[in-house]
Chains A and B, each alone.
Chain A
Amino acid sequence: MPYVPNTDRDREEMLREIGVGSVEELFAAVPKGLRESVELDVPGPLSEAELVRHMKRLASMNRTTDDVVSFLGGGVYDHTVPAVVRYVMGMPQFYTAYTPYQAEASQGTLQSIYEFQSLICRLTGLGVANASMYDGASAAAEACLMALAITRRNKILVAGTAGPSLRAVVATYLEASDIEIVELPETCGVTDVSAVDAHLEGAAVLLVQHPNFFGLLEPVDELSVKCADAGVLLVASVDPLSLAVLKPPSDYGAAIAVGEGQSLGSPVGYGGPLLGFMAADKKYLRRMPGRIIGATTDTMGRRGFVMTLQTREQHIRRAKATSNICTNEGLVALGAAVHLSLLGKNGFRELALQVTSKAHYAALALSAVAGVDLRFEGPFFREFVIDLSVPARRVKEELGRVGIWPGISCGCYYDGMENSLLVSVTERHTREDIDSLASGLEAVISPGGSS
């Protein structure tokens, strides 16, 4: 047992010190009937060499974004993760530490998360941010709970163009309440502004994803005006990379901005860990869920950092806490802080410009193929939907055989979109990759349409 230092002799001596005759006696409080029956049927023990062989075999049974040309996105994006991000996240001083309960011995964690909060504030334009949430979906759900508590209303409006998993998690968080969830209809791939009025009365929040699941920019200015007039809080679920070029949520009156931060230095990792973030107007700080790091001073007048406003949290307020969250995604938030610091003001903007340029190059290249059309006309950031003259599933299968994954079948999530693909592009795609997708589509779809 490599991880347990006690030898048999240690155990004997320690038992003697305790004053019991055997380890079994230490478990005397456990009813005997429960203790005697246990004989676990789990595999192992494996040596390190055996473990590595097994794990590598499992890993080899997965095709990764390095093995194929993949245009999968939909909320989890395959960006290059800089070596420095992995390096810092791999420092045991960070990853083997606990939640910074003893601030004086946890300044590394505390300051880096304060910096993360500050960076999120700079991206979103809002005054305060918390120390992270599980993912963008739960952050959106928590934002709705927060808005419900602030407004004391009992209805929420969720844009139907927000990601399906985000909407699913929001529904789960509200399942036990009497809250009415209204899904706002779309037109041309974005929220139908004219349909909003009918639902505004009595609503606590309008939750919109911008850019939305289809990659399209939402009419946030118009939604914002409607919300303001009706006293509805606007919650924007934003792609942090888009904020390098798009106007911040503060500019269109969002009370709360949330989002998925996976693209800030995390691998795709089969979808986890992800990184939820939340920023809000400063006046809502005391309503926020989760940990918040604040600056203070020590007895010598030096700057230091602590967890602050803890009376909002479950370990103090228990049933009356603003949220049940305890463990968050601290290390991933650290990675995001490193990533943003490394790319910096110019690098981050350049990354967004590259992603936008490649996505638009791809949209042009693909829509030039006979039998392929852009489904929506509105502006998009990093991904877009194409309509095919044949079922998307068939195209995926055939292109998969030549090592191209053309995107997500929208039909899995939206009725009537069986012929549509959501194509996502990052800076990792070369022009050649995109051209190969175009020629691949051409080969599969034409001539004649259905082979």
Chain B
Amino acid sequence: MSDPRKNGQTVEPTVFELSHPGRSGYRLPALDVPPADLAEVLGASNLRSTPPELPELSEPEVVRHFTRLAEMNFHVDRAMYPLGSCTMKYNPRINEEMAGLPGFTGVHPETTAAECQGAISLIYNLGRMLAEISGMDHVSIQPPAGASGELAGMLMVRAYQADQGNPRSKVIVPDTAHGTNPASLTLAGYEAVEIPSGPDGRIDVQVLAAAVDEETAAFMITNPNTLGVFESRIADIAEIVHGVGGLLYLDGANLNASLGVVRPGDAGFDVMHFNLHKTFATPHGGGGPGSGPVGVKSLLADYLPCPVARRDERKALGFEYDFDYDRPKSIGKVHAVYGNFLVAVKAYAYILTLGPQGLRRVAENAVLNANYLQKKLEPFFELPFPGLCQHEFVLSASRQKEQGVRALDVAKRLLDYGLHSPTVYFPLVVKEALMIEPTETESRASLDRFVDVMKAIAEESASSPELVTGAPTGTPVSRLDESLAAKELDVAWGKT
């Protein structure tokens, strides 16, 4: 038992190490019916011989443990969190409060439509608002995350193409695509065909034109793309794709740059997903829950995930809103119920708070902040794709690499200065990539602070690179050994 992970120094013990036999942190009501004889009612052979070894702690111990863990987390309430393509904007408190209203948290999904008009109207109207913002005709909030929205979208593409006579076999993605894109289209039964970006970081329309054919079911892109540039030739792109009978899919991860400025539906997109946890300010929760509504033009409406929220203003059934389950061409269900409803509540509240002008102001300031940062950082880091950007941009630590400092080291050093790092090593087309998205909720002072720190790190990389490669030192733990974690796996306490 010499594994330092079990017996060495710890910053915070696991909840299992804190356990003390006989303690409990919660009291149930007294049982007011006769206690069941478990062996009799469940069958002795169905029972477990010993109860699961859950920890035993009192309430204050549980609260302290998780509070100490919480204190070890960087989070967006503390400082700038410039992860590119992640849109780490401020999460408005009022939205959390609204999603916590008992009239939302206490609704059971089997409640009859007449008894939960508020919930269904919210789902319906959020769908309408997202459709208006994006220029799509219909939106389903059922997909619980972006990748689930991608799967739903791609399955709709497949169903549509099949109805045209051939589901087709290929979906094209640019080399700057998020990893979920090829993974999702593969799950939808397609082969991913990757095309290289042009020298300006945009889609090379000649390359695209040569890549499409009668087997192209769709072209799946992010716009602005992951380099932070808008696909200016989107009309040509749409024409090429539509010309062979393909559909144009938008990964809406970067929709923040477009709010109130340009609508994907006007630009030729047929199907897209939204990330409510990016664009619409719902929190990321340390990895989820998110929400990935999928939007379509009318030609795909029949295929939307089932059920579809609908409105009958004449109230023929005695109420206005219900769900339509009679959708014979639907791709089916991608979530057990209606999707991440309580996340949808937050996005709905966000849109109402902003209104049309506020939404546009979000995009404008997201783009302004990104361009300001790009301009200020350009002297210190290589900018592989110069020119104005949209909501994010990509730097390269290639100069620093010559000094022995990698993008990863820059990321870790930022933590020492109390800031979060950008996304690193993505997109794959840029070596030593640092992908930076400040969002509109950062102040100029906050951007300036980031610039000062990045400048300091660039200087350190030249003068004393060991400071950077040895980072972080100011975090609860120092640089962690990822290869040990993968080589000698320990993924559950007490099991090896």
Contact indicator A344/B107 (Cβ below 8 Å): no
Q: Tell me the nearest residue of chain A to B33, going by C-beta.
A: A361
A321 CB within 8 Å of chain B: yes
Please give, as numbers and ranges, the residues of chain A lying within 8 Å of B28 by CB-CB distance: 347, 350-351, 354, 427
Q: A107-B476, A308-B486 are contacts. A243–B52 as well, Cβ < 8 Å?
A: yes
Contact indicator B63/A88 (Cβ below 8 Å): yes
Please give, as numbers and ranges, the residues of chain A lying within 8 Å of B151 by CB-CB distance: 173, 324
Please give, as numbers and ranges, the residues of chain B lying within 8 Å of A329 by CB-CB distance: 144, 285, 287-289
Q: A18-B372, A91-B70, A345-B51 are contacts. A38–B101 as well, Cβ < 8 Å?
A: no
- Write 9 A-B pairs (CB below 8 A) sorted by A numbering: A3-B441, A291-B287, A297-B5, A300-B9, A303-B5, A303-B11, A304-B480, A314-B180, A350-B28
Q: Which one, A6, A41, A98, A303, contacts B286 given CB within 8 A? A: A98
A19 to B112, CA, bound (A): 58
Q: Which one, B31, B118, B368, B486, contacts A357 given CB within 8 A? A: B31
A19 to chain B, nearest CB (A): 7
A299 to B339, CA, bound (A): 42
A306 to chain B, nearest CB (A): 5
Q: A34-B262, A72-B110, A106-B74 are contacts. A137–B62 as well, Cβ < 8 Å?
A: no
- Comparing B206-214, B241-249, B355-363, B399-407, the segment that makes contact with chain A is B355-363
Q: How many A-B residue pairs have CB under 8 A?
A: 721
The interface residues of chain B, by DSSP majority, are classed as loop
Contact indicator A4/B361 (Cβ below 8 Å): yes
Contact indicator B341/A271 (Cβ below 8 Å): yes
B298 CB within 8 Å of chain A: no
Q: A107-B476, A172-B155, A175-B155 are contacts. A59–B361 as well, Cβ < 8 Å?
A: no
Interface hits, A417-445 → B, CB 8 Å: 427, 430-431, 434
Q: Which one, A62, A94, A105, A248, contacts B118 given CB within 8 A? A: A62
A51 CB within 8 Å of chain B: yes
Please give, as numbers and ranges, the residues of chain B lying within 8 Å of A344 by CB-CB distance: 19, 23-26, 54-57
Q: A107-B69, A268-B107, A319-B192 are contacts. A76–B415 as well, Cβ < 8 Å?
A: no
Interface hits, B454-491 → A, CB 8 Å: 472, 475-482, 484-486, 489-491
Contact indicator B489/A98 (Cβ below 8 Å): no
Contact indicator A360/B103 (Cβ below 8 Å): no
B279 CB within 8 Å of chain A: no
Contact indicator A97/B74 (Cβ below 8 Å): yes
Contact indicator B38/A44 (Cβ below 8 Å): no
Contact with B along A2-31 (1 / 0, CB 8 A): 111110001101110111100101111111
Please give, as numbers and ranges, the residues of chain B lying within 8 Å of A123 by CB-CB distance: 52
Contact indicator B443/A6 (Cβ below 8 Å): yes
Please give, as numbers and ranges, the residues of chain A lying within 8 Å of B277 by CB-CB distance: 327
Please give, as numbers and ranges, the residues of chain A lying within 8 Å of B235 by CB-CB distance: 31
Contact indicator B368/A100 (Cβ below 8 Å): no
Please give, as numbers and ranges, the residues of chain B lying within 8 Å of A136 by CB-CB distance: 336
Q: A108-B71, A122-B54, A172-B333 are contacts. A40–B359 as well, Cβ < 8 Å?
A: yes
A61 CB within 8 Å of chain B: yes
A370 CB within 8 Å of chain B: no
Interface hits, A107-156 → B, CB 8 Å: 107-109, 111-115, 117-119, 121-123, 127-129, 131-132, 134-138, 145
A360 to chain B, nearest CB (A): 5
Contact indicator B117/A6 (Cβ below 8 Å): no
A306 to B33, CA, bound (A): 47
B159 to chain A, nearest CB (A): 8
13 more contacts with CB within 8 A, not counting A98-B86, A294-B489, are A3-B440, A5-B444, A31-B267, A38-B260, A42-B351, A103-B482, A108-B73, A272-B342, A306-B482, A326-B147, A327-B147, A342-B59, A344-B54
Contact indicator B33/A343 (Cβ below 8 Å): no
Contact indicator A58/B35 (Cβ below 8 Å): no
Interface hits, B301-359 → A, CB 8 Å: 305, 331-343, 345, 349, 351-359
Q: A114-B493, A345-B53 are contacts. A42–B285 as well, Cβ < 8 Å?
A: no
A422 to chain B, nearest CB (A): 9
Contact indicator B10/A66 (Cβ below 8 Å): no
Please give, as numbers and ranges, the residues of chain B lying within 8 Å of A221 by CB-CB distance: 45
Interface hits, A258-282 → B, CB 8 Å: 260, 267-274, 282
B492 CB within 8 Å of chain A: yes
Interface hits, B127-173 → A, CB 8 Å: 129, 132-133, 144-148, 150-151, 155, 158, 167
B477 to chain A, nearest CB (A): 4
Q: A38-B263, A98-B287 are contacts. A29–B230 as well, Cβ < 8 Å?
A: yes
Contact indicator B34/A134 (Cβ below 8 Å): no
Contact indicator A247/B133 (Cβ below 8 Å): no
Q: Which one, B4, B111, B333, contacts A169 given CB within 8 A? A: B333
A7 to B440, CA, bound (A): 12
- Comparing A190-198, A200-208, A223-231, A332-340, the segment that makes contact with chain B is A332-340
Q: Which one, A94, A341, A396, contacts B70 given CB within 8 A? A: A94
Q: Which one, A102, A294, A350, contacts B485 given CB within 8 A? A: A294
A189 CB within 8 Å of chain B: no
Contact indicator A357/B35 (Cβ below 8 Å): yes
Q: Tell me the nearest residue of chain B to A337, going by C-beta.
A: B15
Q: Which one, A26, A342, A361, contacts B26 given CB within 8 A? A: A342
Q: Which one, B52, B145, B492, contacts A348 given CB within 8 A? A: B52
Please give, as numbers and ranges, the residues of chain B lying within 8 Å of A60 by CB-CB distance: 103, 118
Please give, as numbers and ranges, the residues of chain B lying within 8 Å of A28 by CB-CB distance: 388
Q: Tell me the nearest residue of chain B to A50, going by C-beta.
A: B352
Q: A88-B63, A105-B472, A313-B179 are contacts. A408–B110 as well, Cβ < 8 Å?
A: yes
Contact indicator A175/B331 (Cβ below 8 Å): yes
Interface hits, B389-417 → A, CB 8 Å: 390, 411-412, 415
A246 to B47, CA, bound (A): 4
A57 to chain B, nearest CB (A): 8
Contact indicator B490/A270 (Cβ below 8 Å): no
Please give, as numbers and ranges, the residues of chain B lying within 8 Å of A332 by CB-CB distance: 285, 288-289
Contact indicator A272/B103 (Cβ below 8 Å): no
Q: Which one, A102, A273, A296, contacts B340 given CB within 8 A? A: A273
A450 to chain B, nearest CB (A): 22
B293 CB within 8 Å of chain A: no
Contact with B along A310-333 (1 / 0, CB 8 A): 000111111111011111111110
Q: Tell me the nearest residue of chain A to B446, going by C-beta.
A: A5
B199 to chain A, nearest CB (A): 15
Please give, as numbers and ranges, the residues of chain B lying within 8 Å of A108 by CB-CB distance: 69-73, 286
B297 CB within 8 Å of chain A: no
Q: A129-B491, A330-B287 are contacts. A1–B358 as well, Cβ < 8 Å?
A: yes
Please give, as numbers and ranges, the residues of chain A lying within 8 Å of B205 by CB-CB distance: none
A188 to B5, CA, bound (A): 50
Contact indicator B62/A84 (Cβ below 8 Å): yes
Contact indicator B106/A104 (Cβ below 8 Å): no
A165 CB within 8 Å of chain B: yes
Contact indicator B479/A299 (Cβ below 8 Å): yes
Contact indicator A56/B189 (Cβ below 8 Å): no
B351 to chain A, nearest CB (A): 6
